[in-house]
Structure 1
Amino acid sequence: MPWTTFSRLLNRHPVRPPDSGISRRKSLWENIHLDPWLLGLLLLLMSSGLLVLYSASGQHAEMVRGQALRFGVALAVMAVLAQFPPGTFLRWAPLAYGVGVAMLLAVELVGDIGMGAQRWLEIPGVIRFQPSEMMKLATPLMVAAYLSRTGMPPRLRHLLVSALIIGAPVVLIAMQPDLGTSILVATAALIVVLLAGLSWRLIGFFLLVLGAALPLLWMNLQNYQRQRVLTFLNPESDPLGAGWNIIQSTTAIGSGGVWGKGWFEGTQSQLEFLPERHTDFIIAVLGEEFGLVGMTALLALYVIIVCRGLWLAAGAQDTFGRLVAGSIILTFFIYVFVNVGMVSGILPVVGVPLPLISFGGTSSVTLLAGFGILMSVHAHRRLLPR
């Protein structure tokens, strides 16, 4: 389906029901501006994540409690953001974007180094976080705020300004280095541009430019990033080194069969053959212990969440709301696709966690903050006059 057609679907307005002359009392969910179906699905997903994490962490109860606390904070952030009308986010977008870029610059100057990368800021005794996670939301918000004021579809000069908005945080994140997050930030913002009604002609032109730039991009990759791409093409070339992660994850998934080996019974994960089993490769733990049935159930849950999110996004009544809501839910889908793809060996390993399943605090807050904005767009819509 062309992006212009998809954007028209998101551009539809809800039909005004006949005037019955009787004012309808708002339900509890309408009063608190939360969508009960989406909230229930997210709670089910987070509960599944805690279940898998308990096994993936070697039955580390403290890690699970910490993750549950982070989910609680993320849910509170989601509920708070859902109370604000979309116009508030339109006004806040430049400030959030500017603060995010400033924090990325601070990471380059005084950021903490861990696992060979400089990605974190720390307030001693208070919090340690990754500013790049914030940009997954701030960048598409800023692009949507800009394009919503320019008229649809965007003209070439608007696309150039959008490219500058996207490029600044993407380059700073790539310098940390964090290729996976930089790609996700760029993708989230580019979805906004596509939903704005970009023509197929321009899409084809930009794809050609990207293809021509691939050799230059390859030359500027870090050695370990090049190795990831080469390993993706042939993981058996270095089975005990760079290919270890992909080989062990695909072995774990395959050994689970249809029904799985059972909770806590996975050999690849429990015997610590599987790397990063509580973060990026956690779905391999689920595949080994719960088999094809468990993985299918989880992926079906993700699909239902995406469908519900698209339904909510389609009800947005203004350009900014449509662009932001569409970007949030489609980016969520891409997170899932990239993680499952890299763990199953059909995409290179780029360090993308599985949404609301992998261990992590900042990413959970960012994801549920996005869902809070999505619920805000839906909850604050108004019936249009005839």
Structure 2
Amino acid sequence: MPWQQLTRPLRRYPVRPPDSGIARRKSFWEKIHIDPVLVGLLLVLMTSGLVVLYSASGQRIDVVYAQGIRFIVALVGMLVIAQFSPTTFLRWAPAAYLVGVMMLLAVEFFGDMGMGAQRWLVIPGVIRFQPSEMMKLAVPLMVAAYLNRCQLPPRLRDIVVCAIIIGIPVVLIATQPDLGTSLLVASAAVIVVLLAGLSWRLIAFAAALLASALPFLWMSLHNYQRQRVLTFLNPDSDPLGAGWNIIQSTTAIGSGGVWGKGWLQGTQSQLEFLPERHTDFIIAVLGEEFGLVGMLLTLMLYFLIVSRGLWLAGASQDTFGRLVAGSIILTFFIYVFVNVGMVSGILPVVGVPLPLVSYGGTSSVTLLAGFGILMSIHSHRRLLPR
């Protein structure tokens, strides 16, 4: 099973063939460092995402065109990144981390405001982007690079160092404020630590420490963030205010029934009752127009992508590759779980888009860059004879 492969004992260096025989010849896909199954699944997901986006955006072809261009740029980036060897990522991880932290600091002083938050850096006439997105890759890469030099399973002092590495960017992102992204960055890096073989005793200690810190975390939240948690517990307490989003999203999903109302026929989305319908709540549009069947097919597609990713990660032959590959695909699963959970009302709304379906450029580039790293780790392994 992929998960069993991923959690088997880690080795510091690549495994060598037992009989020092000649490695088998690479296939065409291995020569260009691409996994055709994973790429095919991603293309199907992105194509279906564009179909849903056309309806969710109010049938605006310019929005679909812009998203398509972003997908093409992201795919090219994925192909380029896959050509680099894992040792390149290991070597450049500290530099990427430091650059990312400096850009987060720049956001604090020079960041562009939007929707009540200061999260973007703008290069006039060139690009507007969120530095926090790149930290979804830079932080787990840095943690994996550090643990690659340590004795595994990690000792307490190594865990403390990892906590500092994780904590600095997470705090900077949370102060923008962007609670959703900060939690995702933290999750991606924590997964690396867990895959390194963290003992259950330390996991229990960390859980107890987190539980004891919850009152302080609650006090540190912004008012609108507290309101989101309270609304999650009781959406009907403010149906025309904070509870509006979740009530409309669950209504849209429920009204779709088994087969849905048909493409472009949704009432909640087309009549603009559903907020953020082309970004965070796009799966509610899918549920209303394509019904339970459409949502299950989409979730099955995500399941196949995650399963393939786990298989690729499980074939990694060294510590750094296994930690990074496992973190990339499990974090992708968390994105899907959190988005579906918040739209369906089982999790608080934290502003996490649906991967490769919601409208957005920076997140698409980051996600496909991660898949490029994953395929690089798999394709650059030492190939054993058949």
In the superposition, the TM-score normalised over structure 2's length comes to 0.96
Aligned equivalents of 2:354, 2:196: Cα separation in 1: 28
Deviation, 1:6, is 5.5
Aligned residues between the structures: 383
Aligned equivalents of 2:271, 2:383: Cα separation in 1: 58
Q: How does 1:133-148 map to 2 (within 5 A)?
A: 133-148=133-148
Amino acid at match of 1:134: M
Aligned equivalents of 1:20, 1:198: Cα separation in 2: 36
CA contact (8 A) 2:250 2:343 kept: yes
Give 3-state SS (helix, strand or coil) of 2:8's partner: helix
Deviation, 1:26, is 2.9
Q: How does 1:143-292 map to 2 (within 5 A)?
A: 143-292=143-292
Do structure 1's residue 323 and structure 2's residue 303 form an aligned pair? no
1:30 aligned residue = 30
1:301 aligned residue = 301
Do structure 1's residue 119 and structure 2's residue 119 form an aligned pair? yes
2:71 aligned residue = 71
Aligned equivalents of 1:37, 1:345: Cα separation in 2: 33
Deviation, 1:7, is 2.5
Deviation, 1:31, is 1.2
CA contact (8 A) 1:57 1:277 kept: yes
Aligned equivalents of 1:262, 1:90: Cα separation in 2: 48
Give 3-state SS (helix, strand or coil) of 1:113's partner: strand
Give 3-state SS (helix, strand or coil) of 2:176's partner: coil
Q: How does 1:334-373 map to 2 (within 5 A)?
A: 334-373=334-373
Moved >4 Å (runs of 4+): 3-6, 9-21
Aligned alpha-carbon RMSD (Å):
2.1
CA contact (8 A) 2:24 2:384 kept: no
Deviation, 1:151, is 1.8
Give 3-state SS (helix, strand or coil) of 2:239's partner: coil
Could you give the per-residue CA deviations for residues 37-72 of structure 1, whole angstroms, max 9, x where no partner exists? 000000000001101000000110001000000000
Give 3-state SS (helix, strand or coil) of 2:120's partner: strand
In the superposition, the TM-score normalised over structure 1's length comes to 0.96
Deviation, 1:19, is 9.1
Deviation, 1:20, is 9.0
Could you give the per-residue CA deviations for residues 118-177 of structure 1, whole angstroms, max 9, x where no partner exists? 000000010000000000000000000000111210000000000000000000000000
Q: Gaps (5+ residues) in structure 1?
A: none
CA contact (8 A) 1:10 1:313 kept: no
Aligned equivalents of 1:193, 1:94: Cα separation in 2: 17
Could you give the per-residue CA deviations for residues 69-97 of structure 1, whole angstroms, max 9, x where no partner exists? 00001001110110011000000100100
Amino acid at match of 1:150: C
Q: How does 1:100-119 map to 2 (within 5 A)?
A: 100-119=100-119
Could you give the per-residue CA deviations for residues 317-359 of structure 1, whole angstroms, max 9, x where no partner exists? 1100000000000000000000000000000000000000000
CA contact (8 A) 2:6 2:313 kept: no
Aligned equivalents of 1:128, 1:260: Cα separation in 2: 37
CA contact (8 A) 2:259 2:290 kept: yes
Structure 1 97/20 Cα, relative in aligned 2: closer, same or farther at 3 Å?
A: closer
Aligned equivalents of 2:37, 2:186: Cα separation in 1: 29
CA contact (8 A) 1:4 1:198 kept: no
Do structure 1's residue 50 and structure 2's residue 25 form an aligned pair? no
CA contact (8 A) 2:262 2:290 kept: yes
Amino acid at match of 1:76: V
Give 3-state SS (helix, strand or coil) of 1:350's partner: coil
Deviation, 1:27, is 2.3
Could you give the per-residue CA deviations for residues 280-334 of structure 1, whole angstroms, max 9, x where no partner exists? 0000000000000000000000000000000000111110000000000000000
